[in-house]
Structure 1
Amino acid sequence: MKNLSRKLFLGSVIALAGFAASAQEFKVGIVNLDRIFREANSAKAAQTKLEAEFGKREKDLNDTATQLKTLSDKFEREAPTLSESQRNVRQKQLVDQDRDFQRKRREFQEDLNARKNEELQQVIERANKVVKALAESEKYDLIVQEAVYVNPKHDITDKVLKSLNASNGK
């Protein structure tokens, strides 16, 4: 019985040593997508493209908001001197203009969000190609894009950014 216990113990130690040796060979990398979105040239180019595409519309909406605020303030000042029918007509006009403005604002946000998602998806696809190439060339076993905690020695975001920016995001 003692001999069997010794063999089990020895077998366990050998198995643990083998597991520890194989665990050391397991190569893990972590990529911080937030940094990719902030620092990659392709992400910056996408942001510039979106600003150019939606800048005029946003400016028009901001101008409309300013005009509505001015009209509302004017109405508040003049309301006590207006007849009830004039007050009701102007109030209805303001409500209609505000409703139209809110609809345009919602449509703008929906369009902007849809385009932003399209552009970010392209950045992610490019980054994933770079990550895959890096994983194959440097023999990584696992690369994770999101983690609660990352030991800095496993963070390969700088390598990904360098490669992504060198290839101009292609």
Structure 2
Amino acid sequence: MKSQIALKLYALSQRVGRSQRAWVLASALAVGAVVAVPAPVQAQGTKIGFVSTERILRDSKPAKAAQSKIESEFKKRDDELQRLANKLRTEAQKFDKDAPVLSESERIKRQRSLADLDSDLQRKRREFQEDFNRRRNEEFSAIVEKADAAIKQIAEQQGYDLIIQDAVTVSPRVDITDQVLKALGG
């Protein structure tokens, strides 16, 4: 008496050409080997954990301290950009109001002045953003190093075989992010 799987494999092998029969047979044997081994034996002794890097970079004490530090470092430049943007807006509104009564040469002169002011503002915003991102990456790379050390320590202490960072879906029973946050001081 043949099993259902054997019958299906036989029927499949009859439909494919001779060159493909070997491939079908090899595939069937591989599938059969995986099915034949019980699941607990396959995963026996494997301990897996998950850590959310996003939560660590958002919720840990070092991350919050770094964010505050960076914001205070860039506050003066941000205020300057706001002041420059307000000046540009005020000058543009004044130009719009005065434009009908201005001479052609005065109109062109003020348009150039507004364009120069706008270019200066855009350049300063770009520089600000680049400097801010560079500084943020410096601070957060140090936090990631500390987190990696904490993760390795937890893995060694608790016998984890594999710890994954950033996955599509995770069961709360394997999420060790809270332990890492605690190891980082909060």
- Following superposition, the deviation at residue 54 of structure 1 comes to 0.4
Aligned residue number for residue 30 of structure 2:
none
Whole-angstrom CA distance in 2 between matches of 1:49 and 1:24: 46
SS of match in other structure, 1:122: helix
Q: Percent identity?
A: 50
Deviations along 1:81-105, whole A, 9 cap, x unmatched? Answer: 1001000000001101110111011
66, 70, 74: which is aligned to 2:94? 74
Please state how far the C-alpha of 1:24 moved relative to its aligned partner. 3.7
So what's the TM-score if we normalise by structure 2? Answer: 0.79
2:64 alignment partner AA: K
Q: Which moved more, 1:21-30 or 1:35-44?
A: 21-30
Within 2, Cα distance between the matches of 1:16 and 1:87? 84
Aligned residue pairs total: 154
- Aligned equivalents of 1:165, 1:62: Cα separation in 2: 36
Unaligned runs of 5+ in 1: 1-11
Letter of the structure 1 residue corresponding to residue 115 of structure 2: V
Residue of structure 1 aligned with 2:37, choices 16, 20, 24? 16
Is the radius of gyration larger for structure 1 or structure 2?
2
Q: Does 1:48 align with 2:68?
A: yes
SS at match of 2:37: helix
Taking structure 1 as the reference length, the TM-score comes to 0.86
Q: Indicate the RMSD between aligned Cα atoms, in angstroms.
A: 1.7
1:21 to partner: Cα distance: 3.2
Q: Gaps (5+ residues) in structure 2? A: 1-32
**Superposed CA offset, 1:38-70 (max 9, x none):** 110000010011011101100110111011101
Q: Which of 78, 83, 106 is residue 86 of structure 1 equivalent to?
A: 106
Aligned to 1:34: 54
For 2:163 and 2:151, how far apart are their aligned partners in 1? 8
| SS state at 2:120 partner | helix
Q: What is the DSSP-based 3-state SS (H/G/I as helix, E as strand, rest coil) of the residue aligned with 1:165?
A: coil
Distance 2:42 2:75 in 1: 54
Q: Please tell me whether residue 113 in structure 1 is matched to residue 133 in structure 2.
A: yes
Q: Partner of 1:57 in structure 2?
A: 77
